[in-house]
């Protein structure tokens, strides 16, 4: 127990030091992005499920793509070219009962309908809103976990105009059309993307 606490304190100290210096190593950078305290991750718990929105900066996505590979500035720049023009969001749903019943293979009547909605229709019910702008989901990918996990993930792409950085907050709005989830409205801090530390290879 003491060893685990010591490791956590050392990790926290290293992460804070990296942020103070304005640069983080790849593993530290990924932890920074996933840490809710840094404004890139927001969750809402309802009586039905837990909904989470994770903003995914371009460097974070590039590091995920290069996971397990030898990193270099040239490789990183090549990956970054794929992600520079859009805003990427990971949206997840986890039912409170821990089940994966949104896709119950034993429910032969609704399985195909539900899968089609999750894979192809859910994105049309999601928007990013503020008082000046409405951003529709351009495209998304449903990450099918084949029932292994009760958590459903959707990797979403939105336009990223310059105006996006002029607002401190957008609302991630989800109006479900199939599973009777109550309307969801989650604030996300776009300005947190301006405060990212640099990546140190």
Q: What is the pLDDT of residues 63-114, one digit of tens each?
A: 999 887 888 888 889 999 989 889 999 999 999 998 888 888 778 888 999 9
Burial degree of 137 (CB within 10 A; 0-12, 13-18, 19+): buried
Task: Quote the tokens at residue 135.
Answer: 């951003």
Cα dihedral 90, 117, 172, 174 sign:
negative
- What pLDDT does residue 173 have? 96
- What pLDDT does residue 162 have? 60
Domain layout of the chain by residue ranges: 24-199
- What pLDDT does residue 161 have? 58
Whether 58 contacts 84, CB under 8 Å: yes
- What pLDDT does residue 7 have? 43
Q: State how beta strands 151-159 and 170-174 pair.
A: unpaired
- What pLDDT does residue 67 have? 87
pTM confidence score:
0.83
Report, as ranges of residue numbers, the positions in the chain whose pLDDT lies below 70: 1-21, 161-168
């Amino acid at each position: 127990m003491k060893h685990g606490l010591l490791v956590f304190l050392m990790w926290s100290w290293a992460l804070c030091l990296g942020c103070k210096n304005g640069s983080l190593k790849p593993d530290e950078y990924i932890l920074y992005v996933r840490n809710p305290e840094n404004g890139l991750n927001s969750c809402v718990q309802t009586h039905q499920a837990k909904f989470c929105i994770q903003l995914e900066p371009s460097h974070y996505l590039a590091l995920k793509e290069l996971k397990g590979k030898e990193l270099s500035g040239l490789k990183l720049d090549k990956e970054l070219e794929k992600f520079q023009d859009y805003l990427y969001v990971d949206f997840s749903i986890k039912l409170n009962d821990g089940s994966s019943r949104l896709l119950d293979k034993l429910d032969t009547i609704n399985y195909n309908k539900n899968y089609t909605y999750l894979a192809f229709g859910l994105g049309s019910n999601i928007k990013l809103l503020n008082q000046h702008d409405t951003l529709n989901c351009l495209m998304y990918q449903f990450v099918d976990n084949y029932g292994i996990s009760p958590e459903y993930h959707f990797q979403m792409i939105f336009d990223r105009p310059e105006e996006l950085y002029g607002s401190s907050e957008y609302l991630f709005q989800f109006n479900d059309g199939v599973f009777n989830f109550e309307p969801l409205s989650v604030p996300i801090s776009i300005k947190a993307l301006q405060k990212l530390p640099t990546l140190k290879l």
